[in-house]
Chain A
Amino acid sequence: MLAFSILIALFAAGCHKKPPVAPPPAPAPTAPPAAPAPEKPAVLEFSAEPSSIERGQSAILRWSVSNATDVSIDNGIGTVPANGNRRVIPGDTTTYTLTANGPGGNISATATVTVTAPAPPPPQQTETNKGTFDSRIQSDLQDAYFDYDSSNIRGDARTALTADADALKRIFADFPNGTILIEGNCDERGSAEYNLGLGDRRASAAKDFLVQLGVPADKLKTISYGKERPVCTESNDACWQKNRHDHFSAGQ
């Protein structure tokens, strides 16, 4: 904290304390020597300590100015002596500007007190986040559909999963701790046991495809429900197609 204050002070000095190092003006060769020009005011110090406070705490402004006839600080402090300090309790981050006027000109400098909010309480258990995570999964990710007794990623599934890969990257950016479950499902044809293996293969086929497109593998889990969780229970082609799919849900 102290080092940081010094840094701020040095920064302020570096910006505004130019005159002492400026070379003297070249003497006029012919004119008689005139009275020496009055020196420009200089801000030797203007700092806030500490420079960062939590809301409700105070900081001390310190300043030291030379060659000035009047010195003032804004933000309601007003005219101050050439050297001094003042305790301030800013409600928000405030940059104080010190202005010094003298016969040689005027100069200003600034010092900033950064006000941080007190540490917020920890967020409520992921309930609300999870809801958002779930809703993002529901709204942003599309199912991938399969041919009968196949786990090949066919054309429409390729399109869907390519869009899903982008959506997943955005979702993981917003929910870095989230994991996704890819659920492999089958239609009612074929035996329950075989379909369990087929659903597993469908889920892992989608996972492999997404990983190839840059989705982190460790964020994707797979599960097979075989034909045990149909979304449609009629025995016709349309219904069977609906049931031959990979669906996305939030992992645990």
Chain B
Amino acid sequence: MKRKISVIFVCAALLCAAAFRLFAQDIQDWIKGTGAKPALAVVDFRGAGQASAFMSQFNSTLWDDLQNSGLFEMRAKSMYPLNNPQRPEDMRPEDNHQGYALVDWAGSPVNASHLAFGYAAAQNGLFVLYGYLDDVRQANAQSAQLIGQRYAEDLSEAGAVKAAHEFANDIIQKFGGTASLLGSRIYFVSDRTGTNEIWAMDWDGGNQKALTHLRAKPPGSLYPAVSPDGTRVAFTTWAFGTPRIVVVDTQTGRRLPFYNQEASLNATPSFTPDGKQIYYASSASGLAQIYVASLDGQGFRRVSYRDAIEVEPKVNPKNPSLLLFVSGPLNQQIYQMTSTGSDVQRVTNGEGEAANPSWNPDGQHIAFSWTRGYATGNFNVFVMDIGSRQYVQLTSGQGRNENPVWAPDGRHLVFMSNRNGREQIYTMLANGTQVKQLTTQGVNRYPVWGVQ
């Protein structure tokens, strides 16, 4: 009997999976990227003199950046020829199978379309990198070269890592990668000092620093949003009693003026794409509803008049009159409306509970969390095409995965997950691969990704 049930179950699951795949074809294509990816080989760079001490960090950073971009089929280093070129003049047209011919890389077993190579040296107290990118399918070294660039940074591990980021960034941009993640920052909530404060870190988890020191008793400060130019973070804090919105400068951590309405709740702020307004939820009318105000909270205006809780307003980056938000009246779903509160439509299909909409910079796709298909409350990260309403699920079977937010490059997502116990911040590619845990100390939640 038990066997029979499980057979039926598996069949049903397969059917579902088949239907799901069919339905989600277009969005699947989108998250995978269209067309064949460049097959990229990246040699291990060597360093001369004092630069040699930093090469292992340099090489792993360069590899990770290129792999994380999701733009390349990375060719495994174990396949590479014995010798690696270091300079363009090392390249010789004849096939000598020693690694100095383009065809050594283009042919089997490497089968690369492109090769990144070069070397570093200590020069005048600086870490100097010579980085090259060749299209190895070309006939000669001259026509093959796509990048030949010198980078100079501090003669230190940090300098070597920075040079690797810059070189990787140039390669990514060569292949149509949009905005680089280099210099981008992730803002999040951490309780590692005892109270929930707003923290900032580099996009790869480095350089983690507290931005606020409000020391509010629980719940502290939560739900940050970052301005489009990365200069301001707005968040919700209990530091002054009932939840209120506070805006701080991301460079100094200093508070900027924001007028909070007379209400038991002013919360979940987000910036408009032009950076000139803040949308938020306020209970000034007796029930959390969406409002919009100037950057300093003045001139506020109620957007919608609905008998349902409304939170998390998010304005479309390409169309400032299109707004997503999370609301009832039944189980919470993602809705859209215009910036004047008209044309309210449900975006998610009514199943389960949906939350945390985040616009891709393209204005066409959203990431969000949804309990669809799981026990109530067990959120996972999804991506949806806002036009067709087609969606794909990016996380599953690994705890709660919530608050996905797009990186400025439109290819990565940052989110929070309790997959390894307590909530931590993770990043991944929009196809659900290359998941990386960025935080370990304390509980870390509610990430957002800023350009700086």
**A residues touching B (Cβ–Cβ < 8 Å)?**
149, 188-194, 196-198, 200-201, 203-204, 221-226, 228-229, 235, 252
Contact = CB atoms under 8 A, between A and B. Distances in A.
Contacts of A197: 265, 267, 281, 283, 287-288, 309-311
Chain B interface bracket (under 10, 10 to 19, 20 to 34, 35 or more): 35 or more
A189 B288 contact: no
Interface stretch (B58-66, B109-117, B128-136, B218-226): B218-226
Contacts, number: 95
Contact of A193 (B218, B264, B312, B377): B312
Nearest to A224: B265
Contacts of B402: 191-192
Contact of A188 (B219, B328, B377): B377
A193 B265 contact: no
Nearest to B330: A149
B219 A228 contact: yes
Contact of B264 (A189, A190, A204): A204
Given A149-B331, A197-B281, A223 B356 contact: no
Given A193-B355, A229-B219, A200 B326 contact: no
B336 interface: no
A235 B375 CA distance: 11
B272 interface: no
A204 B311 CA distance: 17
A190 B377 contact: yes
B332 A190 contact: yes
B288 A201 contact: yes
B369 interface: yes
B405 to A, nearest CB: 13
A222 B264 contact: yes
Contacts of B310: 197
Contacts of B268: 193, 196
A145 to B, nearest CB: 18
Nearest to A252: B241
B230 interface: no
A189 B452 CA distance: 33
A146 to B, nearest CB: 13
A211 to B, nearest CB: 12
Q: Is the interface of B mostly helix, strand, loop or mixed?
A: loop
A136 B316 CA distance: 51
Interface in B434-452: 446
A196 B326 contact: no
B222 A192 contact: yes
A95 B398 CA distance: 87
B356 A191 contact: yes
B44 interface: no
B108 interface: no
A248 to B, nearest CB: 15
B288 A196 contact: yes
Given A189-B377, A223-B243, 9 more contacts: A191-B379, A192-B223, A192-B446, A194-B311, A197-B265, A200-B287, A222-B242, A224-B265, A228-B219
A193 B356 contact: yes
B376 interface: yes
Contact of B332 (A194, A223, A224, A226): A194
A222 B222 CA distance: 19
Nearest to B289: A197
B241 A223 contact: yes
Contacts of B376: 189
In the complex, the 8 A-B pairs of residues with the closest C-beta atoms, listed nearest first: A191-B355, A189-B377, A197-B288, A228-B219, A197-B309, A200-B265, A193-B311, A194-B332
B202 interface: no
Nearest to B312: A193
Contacts of A204: 264, 283, 286-287
Contacts of A228: 218-219, 222
Contacts of A191: 312, 326, 332, 353, 355-356, 369, 379, 402
Interface string B331-362: 11000000000000000000001011000000
